[in-house]
């Protein structure tokens, strides 16, 4: 169940990254932040 939330969050973060046009190097960081946020 947690994995589903993490994946959904990562997809949402990726969508936000694309929407704001952030450079690719920020994507892994955003994914890690999303994972940390969902595990707390």
**pLDDT tens per residue across span 1-40:** 677 887 788 788 778 777 887 666 666 777 777 777 877 6
> For residues 35 and 40, what is the distance between their CA atoms, to the nearest angstrom?
9
Separation in Å, CA 1 to CA 7, 20, 31, 35? 10, 29, 18, 13
Query: What domain count does the chain have?
Result: 1
Torsion of CA 10, 13, 15, 16, to 10 degrees: 180
Q: What integer pLDDT is reported at residue 2 of this predicted model? A: 79
* Rg of the chain on CA atoms, in Å: 10
Q: What integer pLDDT is reported at residue 24 of this predicted model? A: 66
Domain span at 21: 2-39
């Amino acid at each position: 169940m947690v994995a589903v939330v993490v994946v959904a969050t990562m997809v949402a973060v990726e969508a936000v990254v694309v929407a704001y046009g952030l450079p690719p190097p920020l994507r892994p960081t955003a994914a890690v932040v999303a994972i940390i946020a969902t595990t707390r």
